């Protein structure tokens, strides 16, 4: 009986599933495993002054002030969300309804499509090209034909790690008759941003998160930057008190320790390139060039390899045996020890014996 009451667009959705298991290396969600001890100590110290009996600051004023200075925008051009996931959902709530379209490249982060289905919209997907390179000409062609209300560009892309040249992003923003969202969840590992374009394009939203580079996935803090006009619309759909005061405090500690975190991020970037080299020397593994804190690899026996790693309590992301990501696993760059463990297990699983220069 209950099923008859459910909205048509919700019926075919499957709940977001996360693998919960005991691990020695959790490398499946692009978290930052290199900073927890550092942040935990500082956050614990700062917690003593917190009034948890009171609702948090609804507008995250202090965080927006600190972030505004960092990204050179006024606080009115910023919104903090309970993860950037929440802001993706808010953008779609504000702009997409029954019959409206969004445009994405595929493969990419899955939440754009899921959140679009929830609000009754349709996702148009443009495949990436060879080796998952962004297919600019096809993308623009489809954009002109379909006239989507919202376009998502993920830069760097998850799960492929690829990037879109800045000139192409600018042209897409200029050619679009809708909103263009640049999701910069992994920007710290890439270095190039479009944040400076926010003041020039009133239809642009840049999305960021503290979950990845800044190692704060557990606190769920993301943010968006846009023109004041566009922000005014997003604030209409923001739920009250959407970011807890515990999370706001953790984010503040994180931003105050930006220098230390930036150093950790540089180490992860160097480690990523080193591990990519080591992996590419293992027969049967193709490693895609990545600008994130993860590596996408295509492996002959991906399922068996994934299971072998899981048996040894090492969790990576496996994408199944269908679609463009068939036979692919995504490995988050962890601590040096975790990374060496993955390489050792991969070699065991594939029976590779070749000596690898470390
Ligand atoms: C491209 C991209 N955008 C957004 C998110 C969501 O991040 P969060 O909700 O933790 O801020 C993720 C998480 O994996 C991601 O990969």
**DSSP assignments along 242-286, one per residue:** -S-HHHHHHHHHHHHTHHHHHHHHHHHHHHHHHHHHHHHTSTTEE
Reported as a pLDDT band with limits 50, 70 and 90, residue 38 is confident
Q: What is the pLDDT of residue 355?
A: 52
Altogether, the residues listed in the chain come to a count of 358
The boundaries of every CATH 3.40.640.10 domain in the chain are: 49-257
| Whether the CB of 154 sits within 6 Å of ligand 1 | yes
Q: 171 C-alpha to center of ligand 1: Å?
A: 25
Closest ligand 1 atom to Cα of 186: 1
Q: Is the pLDDT of residue 267 over 60?
A: yes
Cα–ligand 1 centroid distance for 1 (angstroms): 35
- Residue 30 pLDDT > 90: yes
Has residue 23 got a pLDDT over 80? yes
The residues pairing with 314 across neighbouring beta strands, listed in sequence order, are 25
Nearest Cα residue to 159 out of 329, 333, 342: 329
Closest Cα to residue 245, out of 51, 18, 26, 41? 51
Domain covering 49-257 assigned CATH 3.40.50.1370 in the classification: no
Which pLDDT score is estimated for 144?
Answer: 98
> Would you identify the CATH topology of the domain 2-34+259-350?
3.90.1150
Residue whose CA is closest, atom 12 of ligand 1? 185
71 lines ligand 1 (CB under 6 A): no
Residue 141, C-beta contacts closer than 8 angstroms, at least 6 positions apart = none
Report the range of poorest mean pLDDT among 7-21, 85-99, 110-124, 294-308.
7-21
Question: Would you say residue 252 has pLDDT above 80?
Answer: yes
Distance 246 CA to ligand 1 centre (A): 20
Ligand 1 pocket check: which of 156, 164, 209 to mutate, most ligand atoms within 8 Å of Cβ?
209
Cα 84 to middle of ligand 1, angstroms: 6
Ligand 1 centroid to Cα of residue 225, in Å, is 15
When pLDDT is averaged across residues 137-166 and rounded to a whole number, the result is: 98
Pocket test for ligand 1, best of 30, 185, 217 (most atoms within 8 A of CB): 185
Q: 112 alpha carbon to ligand 1 midpoint, in Å? A: 10
Q: How confident is the model at residue 39 (pLDDT cuts 50, 70, 90)?
A: confident
**What pLDDT is attached to residue 354?**
52
In the chain, residues under CATH classification 3.90.1150.10 are: 2-34+259-350
Nearest to residue 201, comparing CAs of 77, 117, 114?
A: 77
Atom of ligand 1 nearest to the CA of 157: 1
CB of residue 222 inside a 6 A radius of ligand 1 = yes
Q: How far apart are the CA of 211 and the centre of ligand 1, in A? A: 7
**Cα three-residue angle 22-189-200, rounded to 5 degrees:** 130
- 83 in ligand 1 pocket by Cβ < 6 Å? yes
Q: Is the CB of 189 under 6 A from ligand 1?
A: no
Ligand 1 atom closest to Cα of residue 221: 11
Flag whether pLDDT at 69 surpasses 70. yes
Ligand 1 centroid from CA 209, angstroms:
7
- Read off the pLDDT of each residue in 151-155 and give the average, rounded to a whole number: 98
- The contacts of residue 250 (CB under 8 Å, 6+ apart) are 39, 43, 216, 219, 221
Atom of ligand 1 minimally distant from the CA of 30: 14
Residue 195 has pLDDT above 80, yes or no: yes
Asked whether the predicted pLDDT for residue 152 surpasses 60, the reply is yes
Q: Is residue 59 scored above 90 in pLDDT?
A: yes
pLDDT tens digits for range 330-352: 999 999 999 999 999 999 999 87
Residue 19: per-residue pLDDT = 79
Residue 83 CB contacts under 8 Å (≥ 6 apart), including other chains: 209, 211, 220, 221, 222
Q: Which atom of ligand 1 is nearest to the CA of 220?
A: 10
Q: How far does the centroid of ligand 1 lie from the alpha carbon of residue 283, in Å?
A: 32
For a ligand 1 pocket test, name from 30, 31, 32, 85 the mutation site with the most ligand atoms within 8 angstroms of its C-beta. Answer: 85
């Amino acid at each position: 009986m209950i099923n008859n009451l459910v909205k048509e667009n919700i019926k075919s959705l499957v709940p977001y599933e996360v693998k919960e298991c005991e691990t020695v290396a959790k490398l499946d969600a692009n978290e930052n495993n290199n900073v927890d001890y550092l942040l935990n100590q500082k956050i614990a110290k700062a917690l003593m002054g917190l009034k948890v009996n009171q609702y948090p600051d609804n507008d995250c004023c202090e965080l927006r002030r600190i972030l505004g200075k960092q990204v050179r925008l006024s606080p009115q051009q910023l919104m903090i969300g309970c993860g950037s996931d929440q802001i993706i959902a808010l953008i779609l709530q504000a702009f997409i309804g029954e019959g409206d379209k969004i445009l994405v490249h595929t493969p990419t982060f899955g939440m754009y499509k899921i959140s679009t289905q929830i609000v009754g919209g349709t996702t148009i997907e443009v495949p990436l090209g060879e080796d998952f390179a962004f297919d600019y000409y096809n993308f623009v062609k489809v954009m002109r034909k379909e006239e989507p209300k919202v376009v998502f560009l993920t830069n760097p892309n998850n799960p492929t790690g690829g990037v879109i040249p800045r000139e192409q992003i600018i042209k897409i923003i200029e050619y679009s008759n809708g909103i263009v969202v640049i999701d910069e969840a992994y920007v710290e590992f890439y270095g190039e941003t479009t944040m400076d374009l926010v003041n020039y394009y009133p239809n642009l939203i840049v999305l960021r998160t503290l979950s990845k580079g800044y190692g704060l996935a557990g606190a769920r803090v993301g943010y968006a930057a846009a023109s004041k006009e566009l922000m005014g619309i997003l604030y209409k759909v923001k739920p009250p008190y959407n970011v807890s005061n515990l999370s706001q405090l953790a984010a503040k500690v994180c931003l105050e320790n930006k220098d230390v975190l930036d150093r950790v991020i540089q180490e992860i970037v160097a480690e990523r390139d080193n591990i990519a080299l080591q992996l590419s020397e293992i027969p049967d593994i193709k490693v895609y060039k990545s600008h994130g804190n993860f590596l996408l690899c295509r492996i002959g026996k991906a399922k068996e390899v994934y299971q072998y790693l899981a048996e040894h309590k090492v969790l990576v992301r496996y994408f199944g045996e269908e679609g463009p990501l068939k036979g692919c696993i995504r490995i988050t760059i962890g601590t040096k020890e975790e990374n060496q463990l993955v390489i050792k297990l991969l070699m065991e699983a594939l029976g590779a014996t070749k000596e690898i220069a470390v």
